[in-house]
């Protein structure tokens, strides 16, 4: 098992947490699901994963790991959230970021079907294994 898969599986086991919504000190909480999207990103291409948000709330995307030839990489890739369109993901929001432990972005979304996409826009030196966590209301 690659390091990316191991780290992603660790993140996948963190589902069903309770996080606060709203200003600091707000007692309102919502149960969240964490879905893990693991794959290989070929040079110059993209990969996407569809998921359902059953109710309005915050959706976060975290590019946890990116490895090339088995070694961690800090190369930036484009990650985004959008809506599925045939065989692709039409992005609503995206960022070009390196992998890291904190969400690269969080946006409020109504209930619906969405997708996360990872794209190589800057010419990675080789195919890259990746792990993405998507956190959304349950």
Please tell me the number of Cα atoms within 13 Å of 80 on its side-chain side.
18
Q: Is domain 3-17+31-137 classified as CATH 2.60.120.380? A: yes
Per residue in 54-101, pLDDT (tens digit) is 999 999 999 999 999 999 999 999 999 999 999 999 999 999 999 999
pLDDT band at 122 (very low <50, low <70, confident <90, very high): confident
* Beta bridge partners of residue 135, listed in sequence order: 34, 60
DSSP H/E element including 35:
strand 29-41
> Is this prediction's pTM over 0.85?
no
pLDDT band at 30 (very low <50, low <70, confident <90, very high): confident
- The candidate with the shortest Cα–Cα distance to 77, out of 113, 124, 38, is 124
pLDDT band at 138 (very low <50, low <70, confident <90, very high): very high
Is the per-residue pLDDT at 117 higher than 90?
yes
Q: Which two tokens stand for residue 60?
A: 């976060």
């Amino acid at each position: 098992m690659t390091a990316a898969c191991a780290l992603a599986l660790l993140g996948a086991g963190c589902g069903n947490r309770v996080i606060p919504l709203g200003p600091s000190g707000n007692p309102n909480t919502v149960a969240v699901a964490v879905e893990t999207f693991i794959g290989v990103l070929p040079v110059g291409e993209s990969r996407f994963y569809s998921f359902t948000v059953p109710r309005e709330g915050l959706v976060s995307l975290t590019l946890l790991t990116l490895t090339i030839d088995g070694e961690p990489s800090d190369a930036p890739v484009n990650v985004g959230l959008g809506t599925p369109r045939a065989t692709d993901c039409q992005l609503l929001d995206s960022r070009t970021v390196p992998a890291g432990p904190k969400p690269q972005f969080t946006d409020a979304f109504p209930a619906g079907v969405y997708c996360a996409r990872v794209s190589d826009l800057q010419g990675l030196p080789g195919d890259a294994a990746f792990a993405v966590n998507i956190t959304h209301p349950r």
